[in-house]
Chain A
């Protein structure tokens, strides 16, 4: 019956594209929300809706920090408090300095009034609500940066505890600085907003519309940021900081940006909230608020904008409508049955218990929340998987890097030493990669090859020496700066962003070559849109280099890909940054001979396009095929260098790398000769 009705209702929409259908639904929802106060004349319910909107706005802000950037902030209510007290202090009769000439210009623009309460004239601050909103955003963003800055170097779990501390400090400060805040008793007499001289007063509906507009704005900003270069950088940080940094994301800036944006959301909401309530006490901003917001974000889905909106709304509805209703019914039953405890039940008192249960339940059984942020594209159909492998190739594509062949050395490493405690990982290593050349580094496991890559790309600090790329000293630069100079790398143990799609991974590789900032992304300027289109085109082209290995899987989450495909994605991601030198750490590890050959050919064609390559590889046939020059490391020292053929005959290399049997064989060969 119901299904029949549903199909009948849905019939007109059946032929619509899903996107259009969603848009229609959204529009219908917006119209409904705008009409709500007209359709529904109950002031208490309009007020409840406005409260729900406030929480949605706060949850959206927390979602920027926790969901987008993966920074677990347990003290988010601090920013909400800052916004609230900022507006409160500058509109209430709280601080009233003596009147003087100084204040006249402020009086002129309407920020202060002269009042007299018997005795000398005093200043009364009359900050306009409409001015408070944007300035609160700026001020709390600054505080976001201040609170965030010391925590940047911390591991994720320490961050949680420090933010918890900050979240606790702010109400304590509010309680202690009673001259400014009214202390524990709170701030009273906060002015209601005025619009063209008309005060909002204590009616619910004007606040409802302000909150509605604020939520709409914050959703809009969230969505625009999510789908931009900024949002991708945040996701990269959330997934793997080291890899994000190696792909050109400035960790400090983007983490602070997340804190600042989230804080600004909270600050604005604080202004709206206190304007509506017209009072503020420190207890309104304690840990329970931060915890409730976390529950909302977790319930909806961390990083999912619509999920968070739903989560916050559902919890608020449960709190202000559903639980009281159910309690009422239970009380009636209790009275009928003459069960005293049931007749007095008040489920809302247990709301925090329910929050706790939701947190635990969601973590155990549905970590992605009600509306997961990531839509998973299923694996390819078996016929697609079995389709003829196209080799792809690099012919026809623009030059990968900007480098022009034939000028001296691209990379010059001199006397680089790295120590870990007492262990010398690299001992005064020299290495030169000529521009346009391919150099391979070989050596047994643990000989310092990966450390060499790490020191070049700024992941490990050197204890001495110099590394110059195109004449620029790389030592002392951060990984993202190294990438900006045109040095891109892959990792031996593959460090992709595991829960992002193939396409997103490659797009993050382009980070350093794009310029759109958060403001451009939110404004949606034609420049930023053109850049985003170009980025997508470039990413698609890069994926096509691997034939039909990656292109049909562009929408898949990388953690589900085969080993070989993940290696390919990692190379694609590095290439997306338009490097002038590519550092490949065992690119063929985990590949079978056919795949190895395929990749070797692809690397070779990259080289033919003019890309300089430094390669760590175990498979000697690959090395011989690709490299003009081979460097052998053992115990952190360079023990040999030269063309592949020559190096393979070097006795020390044989001993170190191949063991005594090989040495014996070579010796035998020598004596025979």
Chain B
């Protein structure tokens, strides 16, 4: 639960793709038990943030600290082992593997045993639909079902921190709301959530805090409530009608 301690921290992180400077001296602090959302347009560096947390992209300078330890040099699998799990943009399930196999891969860094069965049960309880579909190929599921499997897959590694890349993308409005309810529910069970989202209004409605990223620079940060009132956010991400709505 939220105890004020820090779970993940970026300090002065700079990343490059070749000559291209993507993240520019970025700082984030994500407290234990929080839901933190990262807002920004396409190509603002959101996905690079995600990849940097997972260790797929290495920062050129700066440090990434997780659970009190610098993890900049750790491999992705070691990070997963230590409790960071991703829910990738557009789900990215393994389409020609069954739902169960997808969940198994989620628990790849752990040994099979009673804990695995416990987690599987937990996922099945959370998503009865996933249990029904466990022998189907993941590629044959609907978008909403795939998102459930993707979240379930992340839970299978028994994470402390789940990083979600655009959980609302491509989902119907009704299902978007369900996904956000699920995110809140998982968070209440003690998992810290860091999510990248374009649907700013939706994300801010459940987040505790938020950062705004623009061309690789954090231009704004604060509590979700502050953000919802911020004029700049309203204009850029919530749409100007919010200004009128509040007025």
Query: Contact residues of A with B, CB < 8 Å?
Result: 379, 444-447, 492, 559-560, 562-564, 586, 588-593, 595, 618-621, 624, 634-635, 648-649, 654-662, 665-666, 668-669
Contact = CB atoms under 8 A, between A and B. Distances in A.
Interface residues of B, number: 39
Given A445-B170, A660-B177, A661-B201, A563 B43 contact: yes
Contacts of A669: 244-245
A559 B18 contact: yes
Nearest to A492: B42
A588 B42 CA distance: 9
Interface in B172-218: 172-173, 176-177, 198-205, 214-215, 217
Nearest to A624: B240
Nearest to A661: B201
A563 B202 contact: no
Given A444-B168, A445-B166, A661-B205, A590 B44 contact: yes
A665 B90 contact: no
24 contacts: A444-B168, A559-B19, A563-B215, A590-B43, A591-B215, A593-B214, A595-B215, A619-B41, A620-B235, A620-B239, A621-B235, A621-B240, A624-B240, A634-B173, A648-B239, A648-B241, A658-B202, A658-B238, A659-B200, A659-B201, A659-B205, A660-B202, A666-B245, A668-B245
A444 B199 CA distance: 8
Nearest to A620: B239
Given A589-B43, A648-B239, A661-B205, A618 B198 contact: yes
Interface centre among A564, A619, A621, A658 (most CB of B within 10 A): A658
Given A560-B18, A593-B214, A660-B205, A620 B245 contact: no
Contact of B202 (A447, A620, A661): A661
A559 B172 CA distance: 37
A524 to B, nearest CB: 36
A669 B41 CA distance: 27
Contact of A662 (B43, B44, B235, B238): B238
A403 B176 CA distance: 44
A589 B169 contact: no
A566 to B, nearest CB: 9
Contacts of A634: 173
Contacts of B177: 660
Contacts, number: 108
B242 interface: yes
B170 A656 contact: no
B15 interface: no
A492 B43 CA distance: 10
B198 A665 contact: no
A658 B246 CA distance: 15
Q: Is the interface of A mostly helix, strand, loop or mixed?
A: helix
Interface string B228-245: 100000011011111011
Contacts of A591: 215
Contacts of A592: 214-215, 217
Contact of B240 (A589, A648, A661): A648
Interface centre among A562, A649, A661, A666 (most CB of B within 10 A): A661
Interface string B9-21: 0000000001111
A539 to B, nearest CB: 23
A659 B204 CA distance: 10
Contact of B42 (A590, A635, A657, A660): A590
Contacts of B203: 659
Contacts of A446: 90, 169-170
Given A560-B18, A563-B43, A649-B241, 4 more contacts: A379-B19, A586-B42, A618-B42, A660-B201
Interface string B68-101: 0000000000000000000000100000000000
B240 A620 contact: yes
Interface in B145-165: none
B170 A658 contact: no
A234 B239 CA distance: 45
B169 A665 contact: no
Contacts of B21: 562
Contacts of B242: 662, 665
B176 to A, nearest CB: 7
A444 B239 CA distance: 13
A492 B177 CA distance: 27
B231 to A, nearest CB: 12
A655 B172 CA distance: 10
A661 to B, nearest CB: 4
Contact of A560 (B19, B43, B169, B200): B19
Nearest to B242: A665
A589 B40 CA distance: 10
